[in-house]
């Protein structure tokens, strides 16, 4: 397996700083130290903390976009891919969820960092509205999924195993019903 680029190692190190030390500890110096590079090496890729956080947001949204790229062209396929990319089939905690939660904490330190995320969510919503099913049904499922995602991220009473799977199945069946109507 190829070794990650310096840029990717720096982003991984930034995620680790967020996860282990919290958003207030996310400094360029801490990331450089964690990645084992000089501050000059870090500045080559990220001249500011905001640039580094923006790159972390871009990496997460790009991974989500890649998961959505496999959506078919039948009515509801994009929404099915959205559910599948957001909520796993079984009740497991995905490691990416911890990175996402930590990154969101970091972005909240600099609210301007949320703007790229807002733009991506607006684009995903626009695509869902044009998914060939009732836009209200698509939006209702998306909002349910986004709420579920937030509950999982924050550990706020998420459904237990069994209920997790049946709730996810219920949402997928709701998409199927909307696609038939």
Sequence-distant (≥ 6) Cβ neighbours of residue 73 within 8 angstroms: none
How many angstroms separate the CA atoms of 147 and 116, rounded? Answer: 20
For the segment 29-50, the average pLDDT, to the nearest whole number, is 93
The tens digit of pLDDT for each residue in 80-134 reads: 999 999 998 988 755 556 667 666 766 666 777 778 888 999 999 999 999 999 9
What is the per-residue pLDDT for 69? 95
* Overall average pLDDT of the 65-90 stretch: 95
Report pLDDT digits (tens) over 131-172: 999 999 999 999 999 999 888 887 888 899 999 999 999 999
Residue 33: Cβ-neighbour burial (10 angstroms; 0-12, 13-18, 19+): middle
Maximum average pLDDT range among 52-61, 94-103, 172-181: 172-181
pTM of the model: 0.84
69's CB contacts (< 8 A; 6+ apart) are none
CB atoms within 10 A of CB 163: 11
């Amino acid at each position: 397996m190829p070794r990650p680029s310096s840029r990717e190692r720096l982003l991984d190190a930034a995620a680790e700083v967020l996860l282990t030390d919290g958003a207030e500890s996310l400094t360029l110096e801490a990331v450089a130290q964690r990645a084992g590079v000089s501050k000059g090496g870090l500045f080559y890729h990220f001249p500011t903390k905001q640039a580094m956080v923006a790159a972390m947001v871009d990496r997460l949204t790009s991974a989500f976009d890649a998961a959505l790229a496999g959506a078919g062209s039948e009515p509801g396929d994009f929404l099915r891919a959205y559910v599948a990319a957001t909520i796993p089939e079984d009740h497991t905690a995905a490691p990416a969820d911890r990175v996402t939660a930590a990154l969101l904490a970091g972005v909240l330190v600099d609210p301007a960092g949320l703007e790229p995320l807002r733009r991506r969510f607006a684009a995903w919503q626009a695509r869902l509205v044009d998914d060939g099913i009732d836009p209200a049904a698509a939006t209702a499922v998306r909002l349910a999924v986004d709420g579920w995602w937030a509950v999982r991220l924050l550990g706020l009473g998420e459904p237990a195993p069994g209920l997790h799977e049946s709730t996810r199945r219920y949402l997928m069946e709701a998409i199927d019903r909307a696609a038939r109507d």
